[in-house]
Structure 1
Amino acid sequence: MYFQPEIETMPREELFQLQLERIGETLRNAYENVPFYRQQFDEAGVRPEDFRSFEDLQRFPFLVKQDMRDAYPYGLFARPNKDVARIHASSGTTGQATVVGHTAADLRNWGDCFARGIAMVGGSADSTLQVSYGYGLFTGGLGAHAGGEAMGCTVIPTSSGNTKRQVQMMRDLGTDILACTPSYALFIADTAIEMGYDPAKDFKISAGIFGAEPCSQNMRDEISEKLGIQYCDVYGLSEVMGPGVAMECAERNGLHIAEDHFYCEILDPDTLAPVPDGEWGELVITTLTRECCPLVRYRTRDVTRIISEPCACGRTHRKIDKLRGRTDDMLILRGVNVFPSQIEQVITSFEEVVPHYQIVLSTRGPLDHIEVQVETVPEFPFDEVRKLEDLRKRLAAELKGNLQIAVDVKIVEPKTIARSEGKAKRVVDNREAGNR
């Protein structure tokens, strides 16, 4: 099922031509209406009219998150206030917040992008979409909400929190599509089970659209099994738009990029040279239709690859693979590069533990110390010391073999690690600044 078949199945040559035209329009919009871009382009010795092919885009400078922080609040807006329909912003927990504006047309395009994912999980105007992402400056809630309205769904804007009420509404109102973070989806599923329900049998839910945080394959499988649903991974960044930049179809082999709205490059993060399709690197995005805040070659820091092979679903837009991690939240531990997703993949392969964990980093003398805290399943005999120690040793050995560094494992009782009703806090970094 398609939401916009004339676009989603567009022949590749037509799509290339559309992208070329729209990149040119983005460059002109940025240069003519945003002083920052005009200065950047001039310093690089390029102008919008120098763009004639995809290769020419490599002559244009990158945009990084710090540029957006430095431009706070309106330095990257290409439209006056009277044309700005809505503003979103990042939390600013790691620095100055980034502010992004949207015109009415930007918001319509955003809703259409997310609606494509709703169609990918079999949704239609007859569907009831429960949006359990947080609403507000965070783009998750309102992005999914706009997608539901674009599709014509009945939208339940529950936001996050008050989980037992969420479960009750899901059952009583006949929710068939759930949109939230993966960790919250699992929390909802576990809460429903604790309330005496079997979501896969007692609820009408058939699909979920999940994003905003990493999720291992084992955690995906557990969510799918407990809720009895098709799992759809959604990718997006608040700086670029929000959820809907890429969506996962039923083939479950990557996420289709909305290539009529975004042009994606994969670059070697060290040399910043392009890599061939199929090779892993950093995702760089140029927006093609954004009016208020056009982004030219934005370095996302996300590590993925392009999947260019035709998809059995019939969509012609290329796909990105599931994210391997990020170049900027990659942990450098004793000289070894480690992504938290690597640790999660190991943890969730053990049936004795649940996919709720925390990575606690500290320093012991000149060295990093890594402690991974995991919870056992409720039925694990926690009071049997030998079994507990055996599990700890097996986990530690598997983590060391995977990460190539020693990791302390602390096994805690069920429900000990705090649950999240939004993004899960997976890493607690208590290291001294000089050791990071």
Structure 2
Amino acid sequence: MTACSVPNPYIPSLVAEDRSQPDAEEMMSRDQIESLQLDRLRWTLHYAYENVVAYRELFDAHGVHPSDFKDLPDLQLFPYTDKEFLRKAYPFKSLAVPMADVRRIHASSGTTGQPTVVAYTHNDLQTWATLVARCFRFSGMRPGDKVHNAYGYGLFTGGLGAHYGAERLGCAVIPMSGGQTEKQVQMILDFEPETILSTPTYLLTIADGFRKIGRDPRQTSLRTAILGAEPWTDEMRREIERTFEVDACDIYGLSEVMGPGVAGESGHSKDGSHIWEDHFRPEIIDPFTDQVQDTGRPGELVFTALTKEALPIIRYRTHDLTRLLPGTERPGHRRMGRITGRSDDMIILRGVNLFPSQIEELVLQVPELSPHFTLEITRPDRLDQMTIVIERREQVSIEAAEAGAQQLLHSIKTTIGSSATVRIAEPDTLARSSGKLRRVHDHRPKG
């Protein structure tokens, strides 16, 4: 494989010498960011075309060439890619560098088909660690903190991505990984970390672990929780902050684009994750028409990576539904609104479209019901039926929980426009997940 003759315009740098301070590119103006994006997009398109056969064939099939890119709107001339594009290149046909230049390989679980494989050069790993460190500092983590990392290690990018970012920031990492909830609790009590990293739903499972041994999760050393890997609502944030007395912030990423660290949330404003646009060019498209949407309009998030060497990513459809907003704490970088769901996770129930996050938001407004629930979808007598199986909270009677369930059903009907039933479960009886939570169990016949 021949390396692209156009040099990579990005030379990875460490975070600022004073690691508590922002990076220079983090503080760029919008005009500076767009000028940088123009240069890096020009490089990326040529690099992918010259080094990855799949991209060259895709561009040629759509009658477009990297030389057609003259200004930022010209990115729309180029075709979208998705998981299927990467799966067809399994395992290593999508790489732009020889295997001798690869320093790490990750992969998706493959639960919905052929796994997608992602790889990193030395420079890619430096970029990744720097951006994760940027997210962590932005959310309130500080050099010298002890960091309890409950993201899963292994082929999943979450654990190792977070690990090296925290080390880059100058923190002491406790590489706990997911699971072993009793041990998680003990390590937090013994090691007294200031920050915890996990999925939001698993952090609530850890809270249950504290209560099981008679300890109050509000009385720990934790002051910051940086949570990601699954969509979560502001209602979930309030639940977590009440439960642990921490500041809870979002971190966003996906393996194909890099891993965690694509976007991070300010611990000061908590108003959505800023996308680090010195490395990623986001777009919002209508998932049905594929048309690019204006800033502020909802749709599906699409990413082009600007500096990746091992695995170029161009106009990658994430299936995450959100919207782009102007930057606030970092004005040069646009923000993501809360992810409302995934276009491939949408539940169609008797003609009504809904997402698990909508149910979560309403559940957390009912004090008698816990955040632990699943959605069971069936089709008895040819009609779709959704049953919400949900635990009552500790110290709440069955009668009170049933009254809360009626309140929930009314909220679902008036807010979402769908009917459902509720089945109350006893506390601590539903399965817990130490990774990404599976909320929906669809038992309807296929086809």
TM-score bracket relative to the smaller structure: over 0.9
TM superposition shift of 1:199: 3.4
Structure-2 residue corresponding to 1:188 = 206
For residue 115 of structure 2, the aligned residue among 70, 75, 97 is 97
For residue 38 of structure 2, the aligned residue among 20, 37, 56 is 20
Q: Distance in 1 between matches of 2:401 and 2:306?
A: 54
TM-score (norm 1): 0.95
Structure-2 residue corresponding to 1:83 = 101
Structure-1 residue corresponding to 2:257 = 240
SS in 1 for 2:136: helix
**2:191 matches 1:173:** yes
TM superposition shift of 1:122: 2.5
Structure-1 residue corresponding to 2:10 = none
SS in 1 for 2:373: strand
TM superposition shift of 1:47: 1.1
Q: CA contact under 8 A between 2:368 and 2:401: conserved in structure 1? A: no
TM superposition shift of 1:3: 4.8
**2:437 matches 1:424:** yes
Structure-2 residue corresponding to 1:29 = 47
Structure-1 residue corresponding to 2:293 = 275
Which runs of 4 or more aligned residues in structure 1 lie more than 4 Å from their structure 2 counterparts after TM superposition? none
Letter in 2 for 1:228: E
Structure-2 residue corresponding to 1:110 = 128
SS in 2 for 1:220: helix
Letter in 2 for 1:238: S
Structure-2 residue corresponding to 1:249 = 266
Q: CA contact under 8 A between 1:334 and 1:368: conserved in structure 2? A: yes
SS in 2 for 1:415: coil
Structure-1 residue corresponding to 2:234 = 217
TM superposition shift of 1:9: 0.8
Q: Distance in 2 between matches of 1:120 and 1:171?
A: 26
TM superposition shift of 1:167: 1.5
TM superposition shift of 1:2: 5.7
Q: Distance in 2 between matches of 1:216 and 1:414?
A: 22
**Identity within the alignment, %:** 45
Per-residue displacement from partner, 1:2-37 (whole Å, max 9, x unpaired)? 654311111221111111111111111110010010
Alpha carbon RMSD of aligned pairs, Å? 1.4
Q: Distance in 2 between matches of 1:4 and 1:41?
A: 38
Per-residue displacement from partner, 1:232-264 (whole Å, max 9, x unpaired)? 101111111111111110201110101111000
**2:414 matches 1:401:** yes
SS in 2 for 1:75: coil
For residue 156 of structure 1, the aligned residue among 155, 159, 174 is 174
Letter in 1 for 2:273: L
Q: CA contact under 8 A between 1:3 and 1:116: conserved in structure 2? A: no
**2:357 matches 1:341:** yes
Q: Distance in 2 between matches of 1:392 and 1:207?
A: 32
Q: CA contact under 8 A between 1:68 and 1:98: conserved in structure 2? A: yes
Structure-1 residue corresponding to 2:16 = none
Q: In terms of mean alpha carbon deviation, does 12-21 or 118-127 score higher?
A: 118-127
Structure-2 residue corresponding to 1:321 = 337
Letter in 1 for 2:365: S
Per-residue displacement from partner, 1:54-93 (whole Å, max 9, x unpaired)? 1111000100111111211112111111011111111111
Per-residue displacement from partner, 1:342-384 (whole Å, max 9, x unpaired)? 11111111000110000001111322221111111111112x4
SS in 1 for 2:24: helix
Structure-2 residue corresponding to 1:330 = 346
Q: CA contact under 8 A between 1:263 and 1:285: conserved in structure 2? A: yes
TM superposition shift of 1:216: 2.3
Q: Distance in 2 between matches of 1:335 and 1:324?
A: 19
Q: Distance in 1 between matches of 2:21 and 2:164?
A: 14
Q: CA contact under 8 A between 1:3 and 1:115: conserved in structure 2? A: no
Q: CA contact under 8 A between 1:285 and 1:299: conserved in structure 2? A: yes
Structure-1 residue corresponding to 2:385 = 369
**2:241 matches 1:228:** no
Structure-1 residue corresponding to 2:397 = 381
For residue 266 of structure 1, the aligned residue among 284, 309, 323 is 284
Letter in 1 for 2:243: K
Structure-2 residue corresponding to 1:135 = 153
Q: Distance in 2 between matches of 1:302 and 1:20?
A: 25
For residue 370 of structure 2, the aligned residue among 332, 354, 357 is 354
Q: CA contact under 8 A between 2:274 and 2:330: conserved in structure 1? A: no
SS in 2 for 1:19: helix
SS in 1 for 2:58: helix
Q: CA contact under 8 A between 1:235 and 1:245: conserved in structure 2? A: yes
Q: CA contact under 8 A between 1:174 and 1:204: conserved in structure 2? A: yes
TM superposition shift of 1:315: 5.0
Q: In terms of mean alpha carbon deviation, does 401-410 or 79-88 score higher?
A: 401-410
Letter in 2 for 1:366: R
Letter in 1 for 2:109: S
Q: CA contact under 8 A between 2:140 and 2:266: conserved in structure 1? A: no
Letter in 2 for 1:425: R
Q: Distance in 2 between matches of 1:136 and 1:334?
A: 40
Per-residue displacement from partner, 1:274-302 (whole Å, max 9, x unpaired)? 21111111111000011011111001111
Q: Distance in 2 between matches of 1:314 and 1:72?
A: 37
Q: Distance in 1 between matches of 2:282 and 2:209?
A: 39
Cα pair distance change 1:199/1:411, threshold 3 Å: closer
Letter in 2 for 1:109: T
Letter in 1 for 2:82: V
Q: In terms of mean alpha carbon deviation, does 288-297 or 211-220 score higher?
A: 211-220
Q: Distance in 1 between matches of 2:247 and 2:363?
A: 23
